[in-house]
Structure 1
């Protein structure tokens, strides 16, 4: 990799680390046996989900705001964020005595909104995306003189996020591959600056949500290009346009940018909850999701460090995502059967499900419909299963019993 001409240096990252040592502690790095077995190499989880305010964002926000002049601090700051940057800026403002205003999308997760308010920030929810909220933040800065604290596109932000890279090298000095979730690119760029200077042979991989991936097209074009769609559960990395500071760093210092599917993110969230006992938000699980999707098919040299960038997840969203992840993992099966509308029909199918070792979660009787005859009833079932092979065994057992099975795997 050829070093970029960016002004962000390892010396600045080290200075940021010294500054932050009075504010935050290094986050844990945990060896994960389950991921290691699947990948075929040692995998360590860098737990930024356990960081103060729930994500890596406090690193860059505090570093940026600390270096404002006294006159700039007196004017206050403004930010735009889907949640994690908002909390980082609000917490930094609380610690530094700076007034904070944050524009957040109207659908920003409620726990993130409430946490930002709890740190003392003034909140205004506008727009559907981070990019729309950022327009309002820029307008407020121009109108009032408040200092815009960009979520990723500033040298001080990148230097602050790069302190995570220094910790990785201290905690896993023989690391060979680092996998990092990618939105605007602040933490990926910061880690890359640190790695290329201090351990240049490390392979660095950025991971974007497939449904909100601006970087692949931008890298192909050679300049930032807006994403054509933004439909991902990973709101923390749903950034429509790479930044002027971060884009050249990612282009010049990162080995590859990959994408992960929504199903991959769901599976990773469930895997991390079950196997690592870690609560991670969708954006924070994107790197782990890519590793799981590519287990056995990608040549990834270990030790691997997978950055879990945040853990601020709405419990209601978590419930939906866990269910989605269980479907993707083959843990749920939904199908319907049509049987005679006579006593004993329901009992018979329940017994047959039990014989197939499937646990029944929900049952619905449907007696009217265009394709249901007068003497029939349609029974819709949702079952708990043990994986794709078990699903096939259950469906085969039902058909062998003579049931007319109506199964749409896309709606399990």
Structure 2
């Protein structure tokens, strides 16, 4: 094992007793916030550490299937899906969490661990802490989903709701680790977390032969780093592709700046990837091993979630869908005719958010359309419109009509309609039909660039 990598977390925890000065809410007070993630001396995780993790965690981790996708023929690629959302807590985060806790000394186990997380890492730490008899405290920001908070409580963890965002929750957790003797476990940059996440690549390479590329959802970079090390050591010719949302492209920004940099984060469907700065250890480990980074638009993530539900019967969160989103958007066309593995990293999506994602996916796919049309306000005017729409098999979802704001004449009414169509071509057929029958028709955002996206056969 390489010198400088602390396999025993008690060594890392000893660093926690360095003095922190002043209030915990001022970022300038924490030049070295996490002793396992030192920007001045980052640690590069090795292949040997990943194989060690694989041996140690295998009794407590699900060896998830990696099956050929039904979308292979539609996309022109031989796609395989690594379904790590089938872990007990619904995400790959269990791999690193279990390994990090297994490597604690007896003294550290007794004192307990602490983590800061919006959901998946928190659930993984709570679940495996419960299995291993290790006391767990998690600090979750007030914006954390209620479902994920409740899951952590079910695993008998001490759940603290504090901090307006992850940055504040993280500082609170680190301060508590120092004050109470807990071991702080970073969700994406702790060396043992990275090593644990890399075990997913070892499983993939056992399950699928002759792989050309592995597509990895990327946030803080821990999964990307672990996968890159494992793959490049065994099969250097396999391409490693990282995928981010355009609203949280922190790894791409790091590549442009040649170092981790603070990146503005906006609301995204891939909330599990919304990390404002790549981890220092993850960056040091992965920077020379990644072949390509792809940044996808939000509408393609919504379409990918929809495709997963319709064609694969898989419910995945936005972070787990970004790999497919990149393919649907045409950003990985160089792999047409080749074998590509997509890591479906998580399935913990709130049911309310899932509903919104499916509707947004339908809209982005050109299958949920909205338009305004001015029709006669005489008896039968709106009825005639409905007959025209129904004549080509379009389903009306909502109708609203307005009289007061129609300036053309008092015998007209503006009707706002939301319709569901079979596919993009069906939406265009509806548009052409209405334009031929009515003088004033305005469609909102029929996405012409979606025409090439693989769709469900009617």
Query: TM > 0.5 between the two?
Result: yes
For 2:251, which of 187, 197, 215 is the aligned residue?
Answer: 215
**Structure 1 pair 138–206 and aligned structure 2 pair: CA distance change class (3 A):** same
Q: Gapped runs of 5+ residues in structure 1?
A: none
Note closer, same or farther for the CA distance 1:31–1:392 as it changes in structure 2 (3 Å cut).
same
Rounded Cα–Cα distance in structure 2 between residues aligned with 1:289 and 1:143? 44
In the alignment, which of 413, 421, 431 is matched to residue 385 of structure 1? 421
Tell me the CA shift for residue 144 of structure 1: 1.7
Q: 1:172 aligns with which of 201, 205, 208?
A: 208
State the SS of the aligned residue for 1:306: strand
Residue of structure 2 equivalent to 1:157: 193
SS at match of 2:228: helix
| 1:312 and 2:348 are equivalent in the alignment | yes
The C-alpha deviation readout for 1:13-42, integer Å capped at 9, x for no partner, is: 1221111121122001110131x2243221
More divergent stretch after superposition (382-391 vs 218-227): 382-391
Deviations 1:88-127 (A, max 9, x none): 0001110111111112232222222221221122222334
User: What residue in structure 2 maps to residue 56 of structure 1?
Assistant: 92
Residues 1:31 and 2:68 aligned together: yes
In 1: Cα distance, 2:366 partner to 2:405 partner: 29
Q: CA deviation at 1:229?
A: 3.0
Against the structure 1 CA distance between its residues 226 and 277, is the aligned structure 2 distance closer, same or farther, given a 3 Å change threshold?
Answer: same
Q: Answer with 58-67 or 115-124: which moved more.
A: 115-124
Q: Are positions 1:327 and 2:363 aligned together?
A: yes
Q: How many Å apart are 1:373 and its aligned residue?
A: 4.8
In 2, the alpha carbon distance for the partners of 1:229 and 1:13 equals 30
In the other structure, the counterpart of 1:15 is 52
2:194 aligned counterpart, secondary structure:
helix
Query: Any residues of structure 2 matched to 1:347-362 within 5 Å, and which?
Result: 347-362=383-398
| Cα drift, residue 291 of structure 1 | 1.5
Contact 1:177 1:301 in 2 (8 A): no
Tell me if structure 2 keeps the 8 A contact 1:48–1:309. Answer: yes
Q: Which deviations, in whole Å up to 9, do the C-alpha atoms of 1:265-312 show, x marking residues without a partner?
A: 101100011001101011111111112112674345621110000001
Question: Would you say how many aligned residue pairs link Structure 1 and Structure 2?
Answer: 406
Partner Cα distance (1:30, 1:205) in 2: 19
Give the 3 Å change call, closer, same or farther, for CA 373–149 of structure 1 in structure 2: farther
Q: Distance in 1 between matches of 2:141 and 2:337?
A: 39
Q: Is the 8 A contact 1:111 1:312 kept in 2?
A: no
2:43 and 2:113 map into 1 onto residues whose CA distance is: 25
Q: Deviations over 1:189-210 (max 9, x none)?
A: 1111111111111100010111
Return 121-130 or 71-80, whichever deviates more: 121-130
Of 316, 323, 328, the match for 1:280: 316
Cα distance in 1 for partners of 2:47, 2:263 equals 31
Counterpart secondary structure, 1:311: coil
Q: Is the CA contact 1:103–1:137 (under 8 Å) kept in the aligned structure 2?
A: yes
Which one scores higher on RCO, CA 8 angstroms, separation ≥ 6? Answer: 1
Distance (Å, rounded) in 2 between the aligned partners of 1:307 and 1:80: 24
- Tell me the equivalent position of 1:338: 374
Query: 2:10 maps to what in 1?
Result: none
Q: Which residue of 1 aligns with 2:228?
A: 192
**1:94 equivalent among 115, 120, 130:** 130
Output the CA distance in 2 between the equivalents of 1:308 and 1:130.
23
Alpha-carbon distance in structure 1 between the residues aligned to 2:412 and 2:77: 55
Q: Deviations over 1:293-352 (max 9, x none)?
A: 126743456211100000011000000000000001111111121222221011100111
Counterparts of 2:301 and 2:217, CA distance in 1: 11
Structure 2: distance between partners of 1:333 and 1:393: 12
Q: How many Å apart are 1:402 and its aligned residue?
A: 2.2
SS at match of 1:324: helix
Matched, 1:407 2:448: no
* Mapping 1:108-147, distance limit 5 Å: 108-147=144-183
SS class of match (1:52): coil
Q: Distance in 2 between matches of 1:300 and 1:187?
A: 25
Q: Contact (CA 8 Å) 1:6, 1:249: kept in 2 or not?
A: yes
1: CA distance, partners of 2:249 / 2:162? 22
